[in-house]
Structure 1
Amino acid sequence: MIKRFISFILLVVMALVYPSTMIKAEEISNGNSDKKPILTFPVISDVQLTVDNERVQKLFHDTLNDLHSINPNSDALIINGDMINDGKKESYQKFLEILNEYPHPEKTYYTIGNHEFFKNDGNEASIQRFLDFTGYDKVYYKKMIKGYPFFFLGSESWGPVGSPTKDSAFLSEEQLKWLEHSLKIHSHSKKPMFVFLHQPLPNTFYGTDIDYYKNAVIQDQELKAILAKYPSTIFISGHMHWDLRFPNMFIQDDFTMVSSGGVDRIWGPDGNGYETIIDSTGSQGLYIEVYKNRVEIKGRNFAKKEWIKEYQHTVYNLE
């Protein structure tokens, strides 16, 4: 009861700061009706689907339907890790079955999350199942979408269970060098460069200072140093499931950091230095529009089919 009360008080305070917590889709789209976006794409993470969890399966297809209703012609869909919950081949198959059954962009890209390792039969086997599902050669890769670079990062190791690094992202020196070289090549255009990793950087977003997230990215200092060289970088992570209405879930510093919420349940602080589920039916993600001079990042409440007013952000281009 105490945990729920603390979470309730936090949200009440936020409601006082933001008297109207949600706005309608048409209210957002009409504001920029004079200029159409060049590129649009949703970002979701933490579906955590399994063969036997019908609740989560419904959440996933409801999310796909809602995103299709917003824009049936989005240019891509990004699924930023934890698409499945147990790392099993059968769950990948069920995920693909639902994905094929419901409308979604033809260009759909993935990152590997910590739950993709949860079959707990070793790094090589877990990564191979992810690669078999996606058709990729590595857990990190680049895609160009309508002239904009998208970089996808992924952990190359997990655990072991019980260690301080369980669920953390481990990025090899090769992966980090690849990222830096790739960002350097594309930085001259001054266009925004999108970088995706399932885990957030420690000590950034609200909540990433608790023990569980302090090792979220093992090479966090190295990664942060690379991204800081390129201010047009927009770094998007999932993993937390923390309510996008909390403060500091979007940060602009040397580069931009964006949290994408979570499709399956919403989390928050428990008041004792840990985290807890604060909304067992909650479901959140992002819808992103890229214009010539800016990027608009919009939080979406899939459960209520509403925009999250507290999570409407604009990143202006350097051009």
Structure 2
Amino acid sequence: MPTRRLAVLALGGAVLFAGLPALTGAASASAVSVAAVGAPNADLPAGRHIGTQLVTLTAEPGATIRYTLDGTEPTASSALYVGPVEVSASATLTAVAFAGAAQSAPLSRGYVIKTAEEPLAQFAVMSDIHLSSDAPDLVAKWQTYFDALQRIAPHPDAIISNGDQINDNNHDTAADHRFPRAMLEQNLARTGMSDTRVLMSFGNHDDLVDRMAGQYPRDWFPHTGAGYYETELGGFPAFVVNTEAWNATQASWLYGRLSAISADPATQGSPVFVFGHRPLPGTVWDGAQSSNPGLKSNLSDFPQVVFFSGHSHLNITDERSIHQDAFTSVNDGSMSYEETDTMYQSFGAGLAKEYTIPSAQSVLVEVYADRVEIDRINYAADEGRTYDDQGRWGFQKNPPFASTGTIAGPTWVIGRGATPAAVKERFIYTAANRNTIAPAWGEAAQPTVRTTATGLVLNLPQAADDQYVKSYAVTLKNLATGSTAEFLSAGDRINAQYTQSPRPAVLRIPLALRAGGKVGGAIDPTLTLGAEYEATVVAYDSYANASAPRVFRFTAGVLDRTGFDAAVAAAEPLVSRVERVLGDVTPPERDDFGFAVSDAATARDLIVALRVQFGILAPVDARAATTQDEVDAATAEIDRLDGLLQAQLVAVDRSVLAATIESTRKGVASAVGDDRAAARRLRTADEAARALSTRLNVPQPSIDAAAAELAAAAAAYASVGPGGGTVVVPGADTAGDGLAATGATVPVIAMSAGAALLALGGVLLARRRRSLS
């Protein structure tokens, strides 16, 4: 809260006030409401752009903007926006508007930055559509997905749907293929991509090969009877394999064709794209959910092969989704939901072990003369869970999503070479090059444990990493018993929500478990309220690089009242002053005469409301807060009410009145006993001025009117004579901080009433000008 300064001067026995700075916290027409701050705007639309871009951000008047380009949620310590943001590489620009204690929802714009060089080929690879319905929410979702793709690649050569077009598990729902077919046809036409080829591979959820093939145009799935075929993409060799029925016939066909391409001088330097639904052992994510070691062996003689797979739903934010050894393997994500390693995730008031996440991702591939670029795109990466707190499946509702079209990670670049051996020499996504830089806490704020309506919650400001933090280990020790709490074991991990866009700056982790670690299980709290705990937190990246431990202590269930007490301590003096100025509390202090209250009834109502908030932590109060959210809400409300009450208390300047009383003292004395009208007027004006000078809560116009009447009465009395003394008209000069000087002395008999009023009016005008400057 601001310091309030009062300038005081004793002059002729009167207390004078002047030069009081305007009180802060009052409502202002240009201020942004702390209750609702609008998100910033960006003048550059999301999508593909050529060359470095400058992005102009705007926000509501009075708000400041902070931004990031690394996928994280901006905080009050992020880069301050002072001019156009330079975006020189593919990135997600995230911006947040701040106004006082409030901040807006984030703005996220994904920018795919390319050079002016035109790609030789361009195609999108997506998989695991799992579309067996045309429900309105699914239709709307896919429309937003294609809108995002169209902004990035308006006219791709092809879209490859790499298996699992539908949800079939029993080979009896081939008719469901009508839903992905209709979705693709409608959206390609709607976005102007009708000339884009569609190619499909067969997945384990696609019924049977022949049944699937009968549902699509022949050129979408041009297999020869066994679910595999050869094609080309922008003139580059491409193969679609059937990973559900890998056999010697298919192996011989593929190996023979790859051998011929490698031996032909015209094609041996060309990348060869192979698409199969299932990943291969020991490749992406170390082959999680993999199969077909024979296919891997088949491809291992051809470094120029880039093999795309889906099936696992493993997200492509994780850098383990690309792998290079004998050839390049790429996980292309999933367009229905994503997965991660099994970790604890927050489900309402408790943690449960779960691996699914409500994201949709795919890749865009571009071939250039010396390289292949693979961009990773989010289509849905908002905060959320695939299951609700009761364990019911359902997610990705109400598109468009704020994260649609954002960047899931930096562009992967695969070098090309004149020969297969030259290609292999340019491999960089190898085991030998795996990231070894551990996360670090840096200047991250201290973790806190909050008491909420649903239990204890750890607010964990995230550690920093050169790529991203994937998970955290959190162990708790009861300091009274010396035992480790029945919470998470040292080997357990909590998901850092690293696939979310933007990645949250602070994780909110419930310190309770779901029974059995299962979604929908009963809450099984483990911490003893009132007990002191020592928490140890370690951050990990996807390569298991570990940060230094972060250790802190907390008492379970104790409310943090630091901010609340500070707000009360700042507001109480204002409440007391207003009550004294109003005369509700006595005796007054000298400084109270320098203020007036604009609206007494409103001020009294504000004081009542403030006192209610002051007592929110009183144990005997039936309304006493039991959660930190309630304490924080009371703190914010005290600050708000304090600002409104400050606006009711305005400074008044009594210096001119006091000086006028003093300067007319001799004239008033000479008028005693004089029964003329001018003398009676002077005595009446003097009595009124002196009575007003000792009364509290007098508005400035009344003070100025009393001073003007006294000066006019004195001048009028002097003009009819006989009289003595002088009228001291307060001068326009000040004593350095706005206090009135002694003024200019003029013989009373020589000044007319009009001249005296004119002089006083000039002084008042000068004072008003100084107060406004």
Task: Give the TM-score, by structure 1 length.
Answer: 0.77
The aligned residue for residue 29 of structure 1 is 113
Offset of 1:58 from its aligned partner?
A: 3.8
Distance 2:333 2:410 in 1: 10
Alignment coverage as a number of residue pairs: 269
- 1:20 and 2:20 are equivalent in the alignment: no
2:405 to 306, 314, 317: 306
Task: Report matched runs for 1:36-75 at 5 Å.
Answer: 36-51=118-133, 54-75=136-157
Task: Report matched runs for 1:1-319 at 5 Å.
Answer: 19-20=70-71, 22-23=91-92, 27-30=111-114, 32-33=115-116, 35-51=117-133, 54-86=136-168, 88-103=173-188, 104=193, 105-117=195-207, 126-134=208-216, 135=218, 136=222, 137-138=224-225, 139-155=227-243, 169-187=244-262, 188=264, 189=267, 190-206=269-285, 208-209=287-288, 213=289, 216-217=290-291, 219-220=292-293, 222-271=294-343, 276-280=354-358, 282-303=359-380, 304-319=403-418
Offset of 1:76 from its aligned partner?
A: 0.7
Distance 1:52 1:316 in 2: 41
> CA contact under 8 A between 1:60 and 1:263: conserved in structure 2?
no
**Greater RCO (Cα-Cα under 8 Å, separation 6 or more):** 1
Offset of 1:288 from its aligned partner?
A: 0.7
**Cα deviation per residue 1:140-174 (whole Å; 9 max; x = unaligned)?**
0011223201100014xxxxxxxxxxxxx330110
Offset of 1:55 from its aligned partner?
A: 4.3
Offset of 1:206 from its aligned partner?
A: 1.9
- The letter of the residue matching 1:23 is T
> CA contact under 8 A between 2:163 and 2:310: conserved in structure 1?
yes
- TM-aligned CA distance change 1:180 to 1:59, over 3 Å: farther
**Residue aligned with 1:289, SS:** strand
> CA contact under 8 A between 1:56 and 1:264: conserved in structure 2?
no
Distance 1:26 1:302 in 2: 11
Offset of 1:229 from its aligned partner?
A: 0.7
Distance 1:50 1:141 in 2: 25
- TM-aligned CA distance change 1:270 to 1:277, over 3 Å: closer
Q: Please, which runs of 5 or more residues in structure 1 have no aligned partner?
A: 1-17, 118-125, 156-168
Q: Please, which runs of 5 or more residues in structure 2 have no aligned partner?
A: 1-68, 73-90, 94-108, 345-352, 381-402, 419-773
**Cα deviation per residue 1:13-49 (whole Å; 9 max; x = unaligned)?**
xxxxx9435526885334x22x111110000001100
- The letter of the residue matching 1:301 is N
Q: Which of structures 1 and 2 has the bigger CA Rg?
A: 2
- TM-aligned CA distance change 1:115 to 1:59, over 3 Å: farther
- The letter of the residue matching 1:201 is L
- TM-aligned CA distance change 1:250 to 1:84, over 3 Å: same
Distance 2:406 2:373 in 1: 13
Distance 2:151 2:132 in 1: 25
Distance 2:166 2:142 in 1: 11
Offset of 1:253 from its aligned partner?
A: 1.2
**Residue aligned with 2:242, SS:** coil
**Cα deviation per residue 1:157-210 (whole Å; 9 max; x = unaligned)?**
xxxxxxxxxxxx33011011111011112223210000000000123222634x
Offset of 1:233 from its aligned partner?
A: 0.4
> CA contact under 8 A between 1:47 and 1:60: conserved in structure 2?
no
Distance 2:356 2:321 in 1: 16
- The letter of the residue matching 2:357 is D
> CA contact under 8 A between 1:244 and 1:311: conserved in structure 2?
no
Distance 1:232 1:58 in 2: 39
- The letter of the residue matching 2:247 is S
Q: RMSD between aligned alpha carbons?
A: 2.3
Distance 2:310 2:199 in 1: 14
- TM-aligned CA distance change 1:181 to 1:61, over 3 Å: farther
The aligned residue for residue 636 of structure 2 is none
After TM superposition, the structure 1 stretch with the greater mean CA deviation from structure 2, 76-85 or 197-206, is 197-206
Task: Give the TM-score, by structure 2 length.
Answer: 0.33
- TM-aligned CA distance change 1:129 to 1:171, over 3 Å: same
Distance 1:194 1:177 in 2: 17
After TM superposition, the structure 1 stretch with the greater mean CA deviation from structure 2, 260-269 or 131-140, is 131-140
- TM-aligned CA distance change 1:179 to 1:109, over 3 Å: same
- TM-aligned CA distance change 1:311 to 1:82, over 3 Å: farther
Offset of 1:263 from its aligned partner?
A: 0.4
> CA contact under 8 A between 1:48 and 1:84: conserved in structure 2?
yes
Distance 2:355 2:373 in 1: 28
Offset of 1:107 from its aligned partner?
A: 1.0
User: Percent of aligned pairs with the same residue?
Assistant: 26
